[in-house]
Amino acid sequence: MKLIGSLTSPYVRKVRVVMAEKKLDFSLALENVWVPETTIQEVNPLGKIPCLVMEDGSTLYDSRVIAEYLDTISPVCKLLPPNGRDRTEVKVWEALADGVLDAAILVFLERRERTPEQQSQKWIDRQMNKVHAGLREMSSRLGESSYCMGIHYSLADVAVGCALGWLAFRFPDIDWRGDYPNLARLFDKLSERASFRDTVPVLA
Ligand SMILES: N[C@@H](CCC(=O)N[C@@H](CS)C(=O)NCC(=O)O)C(=O)O
């Protein structure tokens, strides 16, 4: 399998962590989707990474679909409960963590891709409000539990860890560690895992 991605995308990191936890073999093909020469749309019409190219040449996107698929192809380190309410709960955690990222990335891009005159503070505030509300919700859901789903490590922790890691990387001013010590405790524990250590976001 070939994973098309980057070393900074938190959604790509989520898939890389899942691959590592499940001990799946893959090659990582780095792709800069922001340059005009990118060929990403040949594999994903939406022009986004991650995109997984399988042995038969077919492709999978987005990160949630890829993660869910990868969990079905190996019994090693099951990251999603087989069915029922717990499975949905993990997916809600993932939607929450990805949603925080979606909002934060819109702010990041607003600042990077638009001139100061073009930028809308109202838009930035709207998205930042989602980031902060999402962090608050994550902390409240986590409470004093060891992991998002209680005592079991799951895809929920992978998604939350990647979201917090990306905020630390791109938005160091957001003090989620100080505001939510339980998220910091979870993040520090996740950061000790080889899957997280080996995928810390880095500028190419
Ligand atoms: N919901 C998608 C989001 C993927 C995404 O937005 N990836 C970014 C990189 S972090 C991207 O490729 N952006 C290119 C674009 O929006 O044109 C997923 O989970 O895979």
Q: DSSP labels for 47-113? A: --S-EEEPTTS-EE-SHHHHHHHHHHH--TT--S-SSHHHHHHHHHHHHHHHHHHHHHHHHHHHHHH
pLDDT at position 135, please?
Answer: 98
Q: Residue of the nearest CA to atom 1 in ligand 1? A: 62
Each residue of 69-82: pLDDT tens digit?
999 999 999 999 99
pLDDT at position 192, please?
Answer: 98
How many domains in the chain?
2
Q: Is residue 79 part of a domain?
A: no
Domain boundary among 72, 102, 121: 72
Pocket test for ligand 1, best of 30, 35, 43, 48 (most atoms within 8 A of CB): 48
Share of the chain above pLDDT 70, in %: 100
* Whether 96 and 167 share a structural domain: yes
Each residue of 128-184: pLDDT tens digit?
999 999 999 999 999 999 999 999 999 999 999 999 999 999 999 999 999 999 999
Domain with residue 39: its CATH number is 3.40.30.10
Centre of ligand 1 from the C-alpha of residue 42, in Å = 15
Domain boundary among 47, 72, 97: 72
| Secondary structure E strands in 109-154 | none
pLDDT at position 204, please?
Answer: 72
Phi and psi angles of residue 203, each rounded to the nearest 5 degrees, phi first: -75, 135
For residue 114, name the pLDDT band (cuts at 50, 70, 90).
very high
Q: CA geometry: angle at 179 spanning 119 and 103, to 5°?
A: 30
Mean pLDDT taken over the chain? 97
Provide the residue range defining the domain that includes 50: 2-72
* Inter-residue long-range contacts of 116-124, CB under 8 Å, 24+ positions, other chains counted: none
Q: Residue of the nearest CA to atom 16 in ligand 1? A: 48
Tokens of 107: 């702010």
Task: State whether the beta carbon of 193 lies less than 6 angstroms from ligand 1.
Answer: no
Q: How far is 46 from 153, CA to CA, in rounded Å?
A: 31
pLDDT at position 183, please?
Answer: 98
Q: Is residue 62 part of a domain?
A: yes
Each residue of 28-84: pLDDT tens digit?
999 999 999 999 999 999 999 999 999 999 999 999 999 999 999 999 999 999 999
Q: How far is 179 from 139, CA to CA, in rounded Å?
A: 9
